[in-house]
């Protein structure tokens, strides 16, 4: 991918009869932006299947959580870190036109720390509370949801590091910004999934009167 997101030699190109068209497409006008949206849609369907399995298993129980299983004592406070990560990526996009890009790099780095930290803390809270995927089906579905977010933490680590590498190399510019914009979309999608997953696991037993 290193050679793909590069600034064009000119901002417009003549296509004939005196008609010129822009050579740079960003945001919703960009093919890569829509490709990322489609990726997130597919990603969301996988998450939804895990969520459906958890709801189905939970509703089949007489008591939720089942005997021997329990929920983390902590509330949804890791969601605050996730929202901060999403906001930091928005700030990074806002800082793209500034030189040097120190604020942009700091925002991306902090977004990575916040998102990965929140997902890691959620996993640690479940493990501390004795989550055992082999014990029962309910715990297995919880582990699937948490593991799915753990996978996304690794994805964000790779994508965020790639954005930083592009910035340090000087290839991240307002006219070559697909790397940053698409990474921001992935951050937003991951944050949304993680918050929904945390709420589903923690609040479903209350909704069911457990």
Per-residue pLDDT tens listing for the chain (210 residues) = 888 888 777 777 788 888 877 767 778 888 999 999 999 999 999 999 999 999 999 999 988 889 988 888 766 789 999 999 999 999 999 999 888 999 999 999 999 999 999 999 999 999 988 899 999 999 999 999 999 999 999 999 999 999 999 999 999 999 889 999 999 999 999 999 999 999 999 888 877 765
Please give the pLDDT value at position 110.
Answer: 98
Please give the pLDDT value at position 109.
Answer: 98
Beta bridge partners of 173: 176
Please give the pLDDT value at position 5.
Answer: 84
Please give the pLDDT value at position 209.
Answer: 64
Tracing tokens 């890691």 back to the chain, one arrives at 120
Q: Contacts by 16-25 with C-beta closer than 8 Å and gap 24+?
A: 24/175
Please give the pLDDT value at position 9.
Answer: 74
């Amino acid at each position: 991918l290193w050679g793909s997101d590069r600034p064009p030699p000119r901002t417009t190109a003549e296509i004939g009869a005196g008609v010129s068209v822009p050579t740079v497409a960003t945001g919703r006008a960009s093919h890569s932006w829509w490709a990322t949206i489609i990726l997130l849609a597919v990603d969301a369907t996988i998450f939804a299947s895990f969520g459906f399995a958890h709801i189905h298993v939970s509703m089949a129980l007489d008591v939720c959580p089942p005997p021997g299983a329990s929920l983390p004592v902590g509330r949804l406070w890791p969601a605050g870190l996730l929202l901060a990560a999403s906001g930091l990526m928005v700030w990074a996009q806002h800082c793209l036109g500034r030189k040097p890009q120190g604020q942009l790099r700091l925002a991306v780095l902090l977004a990575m720390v916040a998102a990965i930290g929140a997902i890691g803390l959620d996993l640690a809270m479940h493990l501390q509370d004795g989550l055992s995927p082999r014990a029962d089906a309910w715990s297995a579905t919880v582990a699937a949801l948490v593991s799915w977010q753990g996978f996304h933490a690794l994805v964000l680590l790779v994508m965020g590091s790639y954005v930083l590498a592009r910035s340090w190399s000087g290839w991240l510019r307002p006219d070559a910004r697909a790397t940053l914009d698409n990474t921001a979309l992935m951050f937003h999608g991951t944050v949304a999934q993680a918050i929904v997953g945390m709420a589903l696991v923690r609040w479903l037993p209350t909704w069911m009167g457990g």
